[in-house]
Amino acid sequence: MRNTYLWFIQLITGALIAVLAGIHTVWMHLDAILGFFGVDLKDVTGWHSMIERSREVMWAGIYIALLAVVLYHALNGLRNIILELTPSARTERIVTWSIIVFGIMAFIWSVYVPISLLST
């Protein structure tokens, strides 16, 4: 049952990655399509545009959410690959807790930049 729950979360995070990365891709790289719909973007990849966008709560939220779902999706996938190679219950606990600790540390370290830019 536990693995079914983790697999379901894996599927949900995959769908969320597609949605959030899709928002990012359309906004940042498909200015011709957005121009067709009347959205005029000026130099979205320029430094000043990126700094302005990073100070908006919506974009910081999207990037933090994308970071969280990508970290879970990638690290859970890595955990599953490693556990296919090692059948021991003790090894499973060590691998699981190592990945959890690494994921939390990576998330905290990576969230520092968007949060610090929001506070300026």
Return d(Cα 107, Cα 97) in angstroms, integer.
15
C-beta separation of 54 from 117 below 8 A: yes
Return d(Cα 15, Cα 78) in angstroms, integer.
18
pLDDT of residue 40: 65
* Whole-structure pTM value: 0.77
Query: Low-confidence residues of the chain, pLDDT below 70?
Result: 1-2, 31-41, 44-45, 120
Query: What are the structural domains of the chain?
Result: 2-118 (1.20.1300.10)
